[in-house]
Amino acid sequence: MATNFRRNHLSLLCLIPLFLSLFFGQSIAVDILKAGQSINDTQVIVSAGNKFELGFFTDPKPSNFKYLGIWYKEIPDVVVWVANRDNPIVNSSATLKLNGDGNLILVNQTGSAFWTSNNPIVSVQDPVAQLLDSGNLVLRDSNSGSEDYAWQSFDYPFDTLLSGMKLGWDSKSGLNRKLISRKNPSDLSSGELSYGVNIDGLPELVVRKGNKTIFRGGPWFGDGFARARSERANFIYNASFEITYSYDSPNSEPWRAVLDPGGFVIHSEWSGVDRAWKKLYTFEGSGCNDYELCGNFGLCNSVLLANCDCLDGFEQKSAQNFSDGCVRKDEKTCRAGEGFKKISDVKLPESTGNLVKIKVGIQNCEKECLNDCSCLAYGTLDLPNVGPTCVTWFDRLLDVRRVRDPGTGDGLFVRVAASELESSTGKRTVLVVVGTISAMIFFALISCFIIRSIRRRGRDNGVAITEDLVHDNELEMPIAMIEAATNNFSISNKIGEGGFGPVYKGTLPTGQEIAVKKLAESSHQGQQEFKNEVLFVSQLQHRNLVKLLGFCIHREETLLIYEYMPNKSLDYFLFDDQRRSVLNWTMKKDIIIGIARGLLYLHRDSRLRIIHRDLKAANILLDGEMKPKISDFGIARMFGEDQMETKTQRVVGTYGYMSPEYAIDGCFSFKSDVYSFGVLVLEIVSSKKNKGFFHSEHQLNLLGHAWKLWNEEKALELIDGEVGDQMQEHEALKYINIGLLCVQGRPKDRPIMSSVLSMLESDTMELIHPKQPGFYEDRFVLSDFDPLLDHKSTSTSNNVTITLLDDGR
Ligand SMILES: *[C@@H]1O[C@H](CO)[C@@H](O)[C@H](O)[C@H]1NC(C)=O
Ligand SMILES: *[C@@H]1O[C@H](CO)[C@@H](O)[C@H](O)[C@H]1NC(C)=O
Ligand SMILES: *[C@@H]1O[C@H](CO)[C@@H](O)[C@H](O)[C@H]1NC(C)=O
Ligand SMILES: *[C@@H]1O[C@H](CO)[C@@H](O)[C@H](O)[C@H]1NC(C)=O
Ligand SMILES: *[C@@H]1O[C@H](CO)[C@@H](O)[C@H](O)[C@H]1NC(C)=O
Ligand SMILES: *[C@@H]1O[C@H](CO)[C@@H](O)[C@H](O)[C@H]1NC(C)=O
């Protein structure tokens, strides 16, 4: 029977072009409708391989409700697509026409339109409509053989997914394609249920009723995904372009997945032998898949029957009703000692909207979640075109279940109180004790085993999981992703021009906003050394440092990717006549202290002990709460510690912030940064720029002016009038004093950052008389220097070119 069928099939293939109309009576001889042609409701179009038919049908069967649809030629009862499912033609004949403008239009006897293809691409030269063997009805240019269709029925699904048809979103069509169920088994108009791809959050397949989730398939690209996924299923995550799912059936027999009105997604294949549909599997929301079964913080387990439990650290809210979910055993959150417990092999929780944050890179995933009191849990995925990604959950943890097939789930790290972690430490101790007893017997063998078990337990408890697992490839981002994120570095995305090159704003596929710095110079030594430096610098984590998220080396260019700061930079506010009033005295103090903390971290507390070398107002970025974050640290280091002097003989820095010893000798130390910090302090309290400072009575720059006022005991005049009444005099004097101490001419006279910070934080600091600042006149000409710099001779300035970079990022 099967062979018979196939033979028929083949012979038909050969006959189609010429004789089809003879064999099939009312059917049009070809699979194509040309411009101006039409079919009436007794005619059909047949795809070239005789697989599908396009035509009219009534539903219910004997009725006067007429629809245009596509069905299997062999199985005419199975309609896979309907054009006008919500707008049937009643009591009239019907015609489908292809207009000259390239649109299909469905009309009744008197010419009223009941449906049109609304082809968005207006100018198709010589339009044709073609029914393909895939069941796709397409509109294209007759000369174009490409799959670049002006319109296709696959973009407007009915309740049926066919092999090769995509669900989900792409940027080209702008559509998010979903199956929509029938209203009920005997009414094919649109019901409330949909089956599609979640594109708002983590990608996954989801069945919804309206906008309420009924059940979810679980996010793609987690650990278990690779083991569980079908080879035939295509999961595309190219987030700026498309997020789609499709399935390529391996057989030539018809394959379909139908969302039925009960909310089941039934996958089946046609058996030509049995002339019947064979159910392959059903994706359905029963048992643990039921989205609402176990409620918030619940954990569904299923052996034979679904059974609701709670995530570690939680307990059932009510004994009667699992759907009420769970609550924390220990209600107080965000206290010392909290940590994470790993729950292995689960379907990760619901991830739509603001329930999740998605960030590129996983090296600080745990820390980030821990530092944010509202973060409930974290996990990791390996998103294509993005790389390892940290996902953090907020607000609720919904619909977590143990997966049915071991190994096909992911690890979820749930925040728990210190007491919860202690209980697992207890277990660990027992293990060690048992181990010790055993060790008396089989020492060597057993101890090895114990160490391994402890390590494994340690990981199971979610303690210190990712910290040391950073690889450079995790930070390296593909150029395509950066281009997509920044709109191909479009001018409208440019947010600044910094000392090292332009800066662009971008949005990663995950929604995370980034700032991309294009470094003009690519003279760095080995790429590997450079990568190592980036890697080190990326591990510097402090709340007053801008986070480096990654890098990209592409041809001659090097790109650094940072977190994006919404409030621009300090200079944007400080030196603008209107905006400076935004900064009140408290903010100014916080900004100064924040910068000092960040700098101290760089100088002393970080593993690398970094000298910034270009500290200035433009490099102090402000986050959403106007907290300062130092940017551009470590760039000099990335390019090789001493390269700027010895190889290119350039000193990079910014006029107005450069210490004398750096500007003249190219000789920098931690104290050069202290000098720049002092300049910043004076600029912040006065809201004036050191560079270009003008005073009618003298030629001094801001530092000179401040020093002069200090000596005349009028230092408070330096304070920006806008904040004059918000501060205490002693406090203001303290800040000016600290600023002046930091800009003193000799490096050894300047305090180190730890002293600066303790002075800033002290309420009772005794004022100290500062010595004369370095550079205190406005103009600086190399030959004028010597008198200012008593501590040094003129040895070196001839072989150092000073590159003065303008302000601005
Ligand atoms: C449909 O078109 C065919 C071919 O033009 C014609 O023979 C037939 O009568 C038409 N049927 C109706 C109901 O108009
Ligand atoms: C169609 O015809 C039936 C019977 O002739 C009539 O009851 C019904 O109202 C008609 N419907 C429309 C939309 O014209
Ligand atoms: C065609 O449709 C229009 C709009 O629904 C309707 O007014 C008209 O009566 C229909 N023509 C026939 C012949 O049913
Ligand atoms: C979808 O959600 C929005 C807001 O959350 C709500 O206003 C709207 O009524 C919902 N629509 C449906 C069909 O449930
Ligand atoms: C992402 O999609 C775009 C547009 O379709 C394509 O040009 C690009 O190659 C895709 N990227 C990857 C990595 O597949
Ligand atoms: C259980 O709680 C859910 C919502 O919390 C409610 O919709 C449902 O009716 C309750 N079931 C019973 C048996 O009380």
**What are the tens digits of pLDDT across the range 586-611?**
999 999 999 999 999 888 877 667 88
Bridge-based pairing of strands 298-302 and 400-402 is parallel
Helix (H) or strand (E) holding 436: helix 418-441
| Ligand closest to the CA atom of residue 239 | 5
Task: Check whether residue 365 and residue 404 sit in a common domain.
Answer: yes
Q: Report the C-alpha gap between 260 and 265 in whole angstroms.
A: 6
DSSP 720-770: -GGGTTTS-HHHHHHHHHHHHHHTBSSGGGSPPHHHHHHHHH-SSPPP-PP
Q: How far is the CA of 210 from the centre of ligand 4 (A)?
A: 7
Among the ranges given (297-301, 330-334, 591-595), the one the predictor scored with the smallest mean pLDDT:
330-334
Residue 540's pLDDT is 80
Q: Which of 78-87, 380-389, 529-538, 753-762 has the highest mean pLDDT?
A: 78-87
Among the ranges given (218-222, 497-501, 522-526, 792-796), the one the predictor scored with the smallest mean pLDDT:
792-796
275 or 447, greater pLDDT: 275
Q: Is 354 in the pocket of ligand 4 (CB under 6 A)?
A: no
Check pLDDT > 60 for residue 301: yes
| Mean of the per-residue pLDDT values of the chain | 80
The answer to whether residue 472 is domain-embedded is: no
Residue 455's pLDDT is 29
120 pLDDT band, cuts 50/70/90, is low
Q: What is the pTM of this model?
A: 0.60
8 or 219, greater pLDDT: 219
Residue 420's pLDDT is 82
Task: Check whether residue 311 and residue 397 sit in a common domain.
Answer: yes
Task: Check whether residue 174 and residue 146 sit in a common domain.
Answer: no
Residue 29's pLDDT is 54
Mutate to test the pocket of ligand 3, among 87, 110, 114 (most ligand atoms within 8 A of CB): 110
CA-238 nearest atom, ligand 5: 1
Q: Is 110 in the pocket of ligand 2 (CB under 6 A)?
A: no
Backbone angles phi, psi at 481, to 5 degrees: -70, -40
Domain boundary among 510, 540, 563: 563
Which of 482, 476, 577 lies closest to 531, judged by CA? 476
DSSP 96-156: EEE-TTS-EEEEETT--EEEE---S----SSEEEEE-TTS-EEEEETT--SS--SEEGGGS
Query: Where residue 135 sits, what CATH number does that domain have?
Result: 2.90.10.10
Q: Is 563 in the pocket of ligand 6 (CB under 6 A)?
A: no
551 pLDDT band, cuts 50/70/90, is confident
435 pLDDT band, cuts 50/70/90, is very low
Task: Check whether residue 639 and residue 713 sit in a common domain.
Answer: yes
The answer to whether residue 715 is domain-embedded is: yes
Q: Which of 3-7, 391-395, 526-530 has the highest mean pLDDT?
A: 391-395
Rounded alpha-carbon distances, angstroms, from residue 610 to 631, 632, 635, 664, 678: 13, 11, 10, 21, 18
| Ligand closest to the CA atom of residue 110 | 3
Q: Whose CA is nearest to atom 14 of ligand 5?
A: 238
Task: Check whether residue 199 and residue 262 sit in a common domain.
Answer: yes
So which residues are the catalytic ones?
Answer: 614
The answer to whether residue 469 is domain-embedded is: no
Burial label for 429, CB within 10 Å (0-12, 13-18, 19+), is exposed
740 pLDDT band, cuts 50/70/90, is very high
Check pLDDT > 80 for residue 533: no
Write b or e for each residue in 188-210: b if 16 or more Cβ atoms lie within 10 A of its Cβ, otherwise e. bbbbebbbbbbbbbbbbbbbbee
Q: What is the mean pLDDT of residues 720-736?
A: 85
Q: How far is the CA of 42 from the centre of ligand 1 (A)?
A: 7
Domain boundary among 416, 449, 468: 416
Q: Is 3 in the pocket of ligand 2 (CB under 6 A)?
A: no
123 pLDDT band, cuts 50/70/90, is low
How many domains are contained in the chain? 6
The answer to whether residue 473 is domain-embedded is: no
Task: Check whether residue 165 and residue 133 sit in a common domain.
Answer: no
The answer to whether residue 465 is domain-embedded is: no
The answer to whether residue 774 is domain-embedded is: yes
Task: Check whether residue 107 and residue 199 sit in a common domain.
Answer: no
Task: Check whether residue 618 and residue 750 sit in a common domain.
Answer: yes
- Segments forming the whole domain that contains residue 603: 570-804
304 pLDDT band, cuts 50/70/90, is low
| 133-170 confidence digits (pLDDT tens) | 999 999 988 887 777 888 999 999 999 999 999 999 99
CA-90 nearest atom, ligand 2: 13
Residue 537's pLDDT is 78
Task: Check whether residue 490 and residue 437 sit in a common domain.
Answer: no
Task: Check whether residue 302 and residue 209 sit in a common domain.
Answer: no
| Ligand closest to the CA atom of residue 386 | 5
Q: What is the mean pLDDT of residues 279-290?
A: 86
| 229-270 confidence digits (pLDDT tens) | 888 999 999 878 899 999 999 888 999 999 999 999 999 999
CA-170 nearest atom, ligand 5: 5
Q: Whose CA is nearest to atom 12 of ligand 6?
A: 321
Task: Check whether residue 627 and residue 527 sit in a common domain.
Answer: no
Q: What count of other Cβ atoms lies within 10 Å of the Cβ of residue 332?
A: 7
Q: How far is the CA of 415 from the centre of ligand 6 (A)?
A: 27
The answer to whether residue 251 is domain-embedded is: yes
| Ligand closest to the CA atom of residue 208 | 4
Q: What is the mean pLDDT of residues 313-337?
A: 85
Query: Where residue 258 sits, what CATH number does that domain have?
Result: 2.90.10
522 pLDDT band, cuts 50/70/90, is low
Check pLDDT > 70 for residue 743: yes
Domain boundary among 220, 253, 285: 285
Check pLDDT > 90 for residue 2: no
CA-192 nearest atom, ligand 4: 13
| Pocket lining for ligand 5, CB < 6 angstroms | 238, 241, 385, 480
Q: What count of other Cβ atoms lies within 10 Å of the Cβ of residue 616?
A: 29
The answer to whether residue 175 is domain-embedded is: yes
Residue 386's pLDDT is 83
Angle made by CA atoms 280, 281, 283, in degrees to the nearest 5 = 150
Task: Check whether residue 64 and residue 204 sit in a common domain.
Answer: no
Residue 28's pLDDT is 55
Residue 12's pLDDT is 34
Q: Report the C-alpha gap between 772 and 684 in whole angstroms.
A: 20
Q: What is the mean pLDDT of residues 637-664?
A: 61
Query: Where residue 697 sits, what CATH number does that domain have?
Result: 1.10.510.10
- Residue with token string 């403008």: 101
Check pLDDT > 80 for residue 128: yes
Residue 6's pLDDT is 35
CA-111 nearest atom, ligand 3: 1
